[in-house]
């Protein structure tokens, strides 16, 4: 995710009462410096995918939702296509039903255009490996602090 995609001042309001300082530091860093998510497609083109049928059918709902996000400083506005960051890709928007009958907007980040043979084509294999810590990692503090500890999954 390129620098400047998340507006730090908007997220700052959400972070004020969050109990985990490490998470606050991570989110702040992503807002300021961006985040590497492993995608390394080196094309210089801007890609804007069309929205899904659900978003097109209820365009006013999508527009209202986006205006709410803008008013809370959670989105950044680019005045024209030339001002977009290099390698910019806009994923399609869609709507899904919520249990209360309302609609929820989502970004289809795994969208696969017809011309692409594989969605993971731009992600090197070494980014796809996840290594979980062993059971000994959470057990060690419990052993160290004994009855003064609580282990929560």
Per-residue pLDDT reduced to its tens digit, 71-122? 998 888 889 988 888 778 888 999 999 999 899 999 888 776 665 544 456 6
Does residue 31 fall inside a structural domain? no
Does residue 62 fall inside a structural domain? yes
The model carries a pTM of: 0.49
Widest pairwise Cα distance in the chain: 60
Average pLDDT over residues 116-144: 70
- How many Cα neighbours within 13 Å face the side chain of 149? 11
Does residue 97 fall inside a structural domain? yes
Q: Give the residue numbers spanning the domain of 66.
A: 43-114
Does residue 3 fall inside a structural domain? no
Does residue 50 fall inside a structural domain? yes
Number of domains in the chain: 1
- Using the CB atoms, write b or e for 24-46: b if 16+ within 10 Å: beebeebbeeeeeeeeeeeeeee
Does residue 104 fall inside a structural domain? yes
Between 33-37, 53-57, 79-83, the lowest mean confidence (pLDDT) is in 33-37
Phi, psi of 89 (to 5 degrees): -130, 125
């Amino acid at each position: 995710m390129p620098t400047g995609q998340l507006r730090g001042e908007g997220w700052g309001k959400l972070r004020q009462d969050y109990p985990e300082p490490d998470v606050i530091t991570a989110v702040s860093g992503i807002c300021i410096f961006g985040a590497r998510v492993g995608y390394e497609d080196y094309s210089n083109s801007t890609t804007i995918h069309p929205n899904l049928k659900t978003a097109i059918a209820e365009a006013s709902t999508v527009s209202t939702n986006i205006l709410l996000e803008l008013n809370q400083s959670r989105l950044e506005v680019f005045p024209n296509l030339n001002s977009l960051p290099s390698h910019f890709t806009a994923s399609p928007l869609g709507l899904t039903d919520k249990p209360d009958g309302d609609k929820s907007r989502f970004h289809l980040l795994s969208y696969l255009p017809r011309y692409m043979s594989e969605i993971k084509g731009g992600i090197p294999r070494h980014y796809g490996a996840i290594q979980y810590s062993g059971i000994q990692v959470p057990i060690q503090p419990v052993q160290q602090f004994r009855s003064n500890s609580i282990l929560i999954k």
